[in-house]
Chain A
């Protein structure tokens, strides 16, 4: 157990070192990268991915995957924006329970399909990725919801309001991180998520409610994607049926696997994912400064996913080897 723990510890240190080295190198080339302005760019980039990454982390730890987060984000954002458009007098904070609720329902549908029909989550969520995107189009009539319909106080939450040291969306993201930390490490259900992912065969034999755990992680992932959806409306001030959340799932999965969450389930920590998201934020903030065109971003996300997967597999093989030799197990 000790060996495994120190392994994990080293893992997060690795990401931290990568962030620092990256920032120093970019800082030397372009000193502007380390300026406060740029810090704010990173700070505004991070929250949406951070929130969705927390949910994705839980899903991956349970040895599933949720490809539909981007479309869930889009659908929840669209429904909330439509509500504001049709009922302008609704107080803006009511948008939060609506967005989270819609997201959670979509996530619940994913989980239910996976559990009831025993299907691989990746195929189900590939289907719902397009299904939810299509529903967003149908619900909106393929029309964008423009700036004037998004309530002012909501947009102010991600503006640099002078009253607050941090914009609200950063504070919300931090709260989500802390809650996830508590859930993953100190709640019974959270520990059961790890148990399920470590050994899906043994988990039900140990009395772990597999159905409940699976439905919970998918609902959380959907709910958090919904929360990210309303914050998207707050951050950008519009909701577009085709742009909003398109390709978001790749960013989220990239961040989570950089953060050291194993796609084989059972392994992953909140701290690692937080660092993974920050690293991704630093990279995407550095690209325009270094004069690299935005078209490269998608290739970088893909490369980052592959590299992180390869690292994960190597670490895992080494860890297994280290454990077996330490116990004198013949391989």
Chain B
């Protein structure tokens, strides 16, 4: 057995060279979205000049707004290391209930309370499965995804339920020329961004997602926080449902069908790390705008919905690959 000569000089390997500032700022997953957000309208404007019209962009975003609202909260859930695929279904269920109880003569304030209470219950049920029964959230929420939409189908059948006339048209109400749903999303984004970056609660969410066991040892009430996040997502899906119903005027059980793809896509395009611990609200917000503009362009080009989903599917996979690639290349 030969012994290796032990070198006594220590090479300065201890610290990797700091990355240049431009890299720290520019090499981020969200930059892909920013780039697309700039390129996409420019390309589209070659074919349809109105795609650069701000008023047009604002008014079409109202259709994406409910999903965007849920995607913002979903971002928190993903940062905490879990996922929830069911909000689109809970939105459909709460919206159906909201419209159905009003059709049955329940006064409006009570209907709102019922709707929000139901959303809370649905969110808490997810939390019960994931946090207390410790089921993997991916599969558990696939179960609730099917279940909630199934319940909506049981309730509404194949019929469309109408809401009262006066309740319709939230998207037509504008403040300073901006449609209300857009304002709600942007306000929610600002609040959530502050919550995530400037409060202890927000930093704890990141810690849970980075290392849950370490977070628990550090005295963070991981289960309570996760429960709160799932419950919040449930409530927000109810709010999104009420918003959507107002815009559409009627509701069917297939409201927001396939919305889970778009919501996960918004979070992923926004640079949220699928394994938790990284991500930002601003990224999700930008991605939501990007998706809205893209959907418009595809609608104008009269692509079939399934073909659009096809592109969204590819975009989802590409965005996770890019996000993972960038995060694995930059320091943890």
Check: A299 CB closer than 8 A to any chain B CB.
yes
Asked, given contacts A298-B150, A302-B148, A309-B143, whether A134 binds B136 with beta carbons under 8 Å apart, the answer is no
- The answer to whether B146 touches A305 (Cβ under 8 A) is yes
Check: B278 CB closer than 8 A to any chain A CB.
no
- The answer to whether B139 touches A130 (Cβ under 8 A) is no
CA distance A253 to B320 in the complex (A): 24
Check: B226 CB closer than 8 A to any chain A CB.
no
Q: Which residue of A lies closest to B315 (CB)?
A: A127
State the majority secondary structure of interface residues on B.
helix
Check: A8 CB closer than 8 A to any chain B CB.
no
CA distance A305 to B149 in the complex (A): 14
Q: Write out, one digit per residue, whether chain A residues 296-331 have a CB within 8 A of any chain B CB (1) or not (0).
A: 111111110110011001000000000000000000
Asked, given contacts A119-B321, A123-B320, A306-B147, whether A130 binds B313 with beta carbons under 8 Å apart, the answer is yes
A285–chain B nearest beta-carbon distance, Å: 18
B118-167 contacts to A, CB under 8 A, are 129, 133-136, 138-140, 142-151, 153-154, 157-158
CA distance A293 to B144 in the complex (A): 20
CA distance A135 to B135 in the complex (A): 33
Asked, given contacts A117-B321, A122-B138, A130-B312, whether A142 binds B306 with beta carbons under 8 Å apart, the answer is yes
Check: A163 CB closer than 8 A to any chain B CB.
no
Check: B70 CB closer than 8 A to any chain A CB.
no
State the majority secondary structure of interface residues on A.
helix
- The answer to whether B274 touches A123 (Cβ under 8 A) is yes
Asked, given contacts A131-B313, A253-B142, whether A298 binds B306 with beta carbons under 8 Å apart, the answer is no
For A300, the chain B residues whose CB sits under 8 A away are 150
Check: B103 CB closer than 8 A to any chain A CB.
no
Check: B260 CB closer than 8 A to any chain A CB.
yes
Check: A289 CB closer than 8 A to any chain B CB.
no
Check: B314 CB closer than 8 A to any chain A CB.
yes
For A221, the chain B residues whose CB sits under 8 A away are none
Q: Which residue of A lies closest to B158 (CB)?
A: A295
- The answer to whether B129 touches A310 (Cβ under 8 A) is yes
Check: B258 CB closer than 8 A to any chain A CB.
yes
Check: B201 CB closer than 8 A to any chain A CB.
no
For A302, the chain B residues whose CB sits under 8 A away are 143-150
CA distance A310 to B128 in the complex (A): 11
Check: B106 CB closer than 8 A to any chain A CB.
no
For B316, the chain A residues whose CB sits under 8 A away are 123, 126-127, 130
For B190, the chain A residues whose CB sits under 8 A away are none
Asked, given contacts A119-B324, A136-B306, A293-B157, whether A129 binds B313 with beta carbons under 8 Å apart, the answer is yes
- The answer to whether A128 touches B309 (Cβ under 8 A) is no
Q: Which residue of A lies closest to B262 (CB)?
A: A130
Asked, given contacts A303-B147, A309-B129, whether A134 binds B317 with beta carbons under 8 Å apart, the answer is no
- The answer to whether A134 touches B310 (Cβ under 8 A) is yes
For A133, the chain B residues whose CB sits under 8 A away are 306, 309-310
For B320, the chain A residues whose CB sits under 8 A away are 117, 119, 123-124
Asked, given contacts A142-B306, A302-B148, A310-B129, whether A264 binds B321 with beta carbons under 8 Å apart, the answer is no
Check: B3 CB closer than 8 A to any chain A CB.
no
For A309, the chain B residues whose CB sits under 8 A away are 129, 133, 135, 139-140, 143
- The answer to whether B140 touches A128 (Cβ under 8 A) is no
Check: B261 CB closer than 8 A to any chain A CB.
yes
- The answer to whether A130 touches B150 (Cβ under 8 A) is no
B143–chain A nearest beta-carbon distance, Å: 4
B173–chain A nearest beta-carbon distance, Å: 33
CA distance A264 to B320 in the complex (A): 23
- The answer to whether B313 touches A301 (Cβ under 8 A) is no
- The answer to whether B146 touches A130 (Cβ under 8 A) is no
- The answer to whether A310 touches B310 (Cβ under 8 A) is no
Q: Which residue of B lies closest to A109 (CB)?
A: B317
CA distance A286 to B311 in the complex (A): 40
CA distance A314 to B316 in the complex (A): 34
Check: A284 CB closer than 8 A to any chain B CB.
no
Asked, given contacts A128-B317, A134-B307, whether A296 binds B133 with beta carbons under 8 Å apart, the answer is no
CA distance A274 to B117 in the complex (A): 40
Q: Which residue of B lies closest to A250 (CB)?
A: B146
Check: B242 CB closer than 8 A to any chain A CB.
no
For B149, the chain A residues whose CB sits under 8 A away are 298-299, 302
B241–chain A nearest beta-carbon distance, Å: 18
Q: Which residue of B lies closest to A293 (CB)?
A: B157
For A138, the chain B residues whose CB sits under 8 A away are 307, 310
- The answer to whether A127 touches B317 (Cβ under 8 A) is yes
- The answer to whether B148 touches A241 (Cβ under 8 A) is no
For B136, the chain A residues whose CB sits under 8 A away are 263-264
For B314, the chain A residues whose CB sits under 8 A away are 127, 131
CA distance A122 to B139 in the complex (A): 9
CA distance A254 to B253 in the complex (A): 21
For A306, the chain B residues whose CB sits under 8 A away are 129, 140, 143-144, 147
Binding site for B on A (CB under 8 A): 65, 67, 113, 117-120, 122-124, 126-138, 142, 241-242, 250, 253-254, 263-264, 293, 295-303, 305-306, 309-310, 313
Binding site for A on B (CB under 8 A): 85, 129, 133-136, 138-140, 142-151, 153-154, 157-158, 253, 258, 260-261, 264, 268, 274-275, 304, 306-314, 316-317, 320-321, 324-325
14 A-B pairs with CB atoms under 8 Å apart are A127-B313, A133-B310, A134-B306, A134-B308, A242-B306, A263-B139, A295-B153, A295-B157, A299-B147, A301-B146, A302-B144, A302-B145, A309-B129, A310-B133
6 closest A-B pairs by beta carbon, nearest first, are A134-B310, A299-B150, A302-B147, A302-B146, A131-B313, A298-B150
